[in-house]
A and B are shown apart, each in its own frame.
Chain A
């Protein structure tokens, strides 16, 4: 619902935030990709409305953080909160908006019974990794493993 015109606030994601998210992503990545965000926003509003958050400044959405509460995946029976995508307009960084969105998501996850919050990060992306460390996330005993399927098969036996 329409918000106040001044100050900043954090509120749950809704379907009318797609446009702002597409813009923020375009500012960060240089790519206009509305289809992807339509799909992701549709997914999160269906999966766990109330988990994902946006940050408003002066009545305009300037940041987003998307994720959901999951249980039973990867054999992790206890419910945990997952943070998947986030971004803050470069002009609005350093105002604690990321931290506040994270806090709102954590509160939602805790209310849903989560005992941990998880994400995957590219260690080489110092901007994102540093931010996540500052929020208190630390390397997990679970390790992300992968195998390229498009390259030449390597010796595996």
Chain B
């Protein structure tokens, strides 16, 4: 695997660094302490990386077998517009997750966990940078409706938690449990998207994927490994970490993660255009299977820690019994273990949007009862949020028949905050030329 590293033109590189100073203040701490936490690992590089030596043939869809496209103009107008939207959404998620992580990072109770998340954030910054490279290195003007590359960058860097493209990136974290759970659950969707896009008919996009995927492997580990250790601590009676708290975070993120795949009934266009190799539901099905495996492993970690004398087969049997009979096993209840929420649970987009279904698939008919149920299955900080209030309002409308589901869906992502420009007193934009950029560098 040979990789070409590329830097953005100075003013754009500076814009990303400027954004970092406002949104990712611990970046310097990470670089300073890199050797301590990641000894002998390659230093972090804020650059775009393109894999060399990949396939130059389109793998799927209408143009299967043809040469991959190297320029946006070689795509049809419809294809280029579609891909441009994917790149912008991807960029939004990368920058968005840094803003989310930054909110609660300092609350980590373990320094290794904190530095792992810091590294995840730095790599997300690189991923965002990578997407800006795709926007800026070629000419998209024929499908951007007059919006210049600079304006697109400005638009992306101005987004904040609340006005990002996808809902999962519009929710604040409520505690460090969210940092970890998000990495295990939401970055996992990222892995699927990047894996599907490895075959992208637009070659610069395809070649961006392998280096990002290699980093994503660590992001998932940075989520799953602390979760496994927490399960052990919970089993051993640590009063500060409980399986219920972890479950509440899972309940918060899994529904949003499922929605990142897009509507269950869609995804054909991506396959037709040769941008991805799975339709939405196919990818989502595989994802759910993977989350179930993750949760089962964490539960086994809990059971082995609670019953240290058990052989692996005894732990398997205990878990199987608890899942089947829902009773108790020497004081451990089914509710003490984690579960994968039903795919219809707490959904607000896609096929099951606004259906009222519990974590275990139990149906509800009364909106108030369902909201009370949610309040018991999500963490208290999140329940008291504006996001929940908006959701509850829409759900009540749907349940009362005064709001159509499709209109309720439309209402959802809009938490729009006021002002998206650079908070520096002098600067009003992220991308600046010459002396303005130098001045902002000291801001």
The answer to whether A and B assemble together is yes
Most interface-central of A23, A32, A45, A70 (chain B CB within 10 A)? A45
Instruction: Give B198-223 interface residues, CB cut-off 8 Å to A.
Output: 213-215, 217-218, 220-223
Q: Give the Cβ gap from A18 to chain B, nearest Cβ, in Å.
A: 7
Q: B304 and A1: CB pair below 8 A?
A: no
Q: Which of B38, B40, B293 has its CB near the most chain A CB atoms (within 10 A)? A: B40
Residue of B223, B294, B297 contacting most chain A CB atoms (<10 Å): B297
Give the nearest-CB partner of A1 in chain B. Answer: B286
The residue from B220, B228, B286, B300 contacting A38, defined by CB atoms under 8 A apart = B228
- 14 additional A-B pairs beyond A34-B228, A108-B1, beta carbons within 8 Å, are A1-B286, A1-B290, A16-B293, A19-B297, A26-B312, A34-B301, A38-B228, A42-B221, A46-B38, A46-B218, A49-B213, A49-B217, A111-B1, A112-B1
Contact of B78 with A by CB under 8 A:
no
Interface size on A, residues (CB 8 A): 25
Report the Cα distance A38→B226, complex, angstroms.
Answer: 9
Question: What are 21 A-B contacts defined by CB distance under 8 Å?
Answer: A2-B289, A15-B217, A15-B220, A16-B293, A16-B294, A16-B297, A18-B297, A32-B304, A38-B225, A42-B116, A42-B222, A45-B220, A45-B221, A46-B38, A46-B119, A46-B218, A49-B217, A50-B214, A70-B40, A73-B40, A111-B1
> Which residues of A (49-71) have their CB < 8 Å from a CB of B?
49-50, 70
Q: Cα distance A38–B220 when bound, in Å? A: 12
Residue B224 lies at the interface, judged by CB distance under 8 Å to chain A? yes
- The answer to whether B304 touches A45 (Cβ under 8 A) is no
Which residues of A approach B to under 8 Å, CB–CB? Answer: 1-2, 14-16, 18-19, 23, 26, 32, 34-35, 38, 41-42, 45-47, 49-50, 70, 73, 108, 111-112
Contact of A45 among B1, B40, B218, B301 (CB under 8 A): B218
Most B-side CB within 10 Å, residue of A16, A18, A50: A16
Chain B residues whose C-beta falls within 8 Å of the C-beta of A49 in the assembled complex: 213-215, 217-218
Contacts of B300 in A (CB 8 A): 19
Interface centre among B215, B221, B229 (most CB of A within 10 A): B221
Do residues B218 and A18 form an inter-chain contact, with CB atoms below 8 A?
A: no
Q: Report the Cα distance A18→B304, complex, angstroms.
A: 14
A26: which B residues are within 8 A, CB to CB? 312
Interchain CB contact under 8 A, A16 and B224: yes
Q: How large is the interface on B (under 10, 10 to 19, 20 to 34, 35 or more residues)?
A: 20 to 34
Q: How far is the CB of B214 from chain A (nearest CB, A)?
A: 5
B218 touches A34 (CB 8 A): no
Bound: A45/B116 CA distance, A: 12
Given A2-B290, A38-B225, A46-B38, also A14-B220 (CB < 8 A): yes
| CB pair B225 A42 closer than 8 Å | yes
Q: Is the CB of B312 within 8 A of A23?
A: yes
Q: Mark B284-324, 1 if CB is under 8 A from A, else 0.
A: 00100110011001001100100000001000000000000
Bound-state Cα–Cα, A108 to B214, Å: 13
- Complex Cα distance, B228 from A41, in Å, reads 13
Q: Which of A14, A15, A34, A41 has the most CB of B within 10 A?
A: A15
- Measured CA separation A23–B215 after assembly (Å): 27
The answer to the question of B375 belonging to the interface, with a C-beta cut-off of 8 Å to chain A, is no
Residues of B within 8 A of A23 (CB): 312
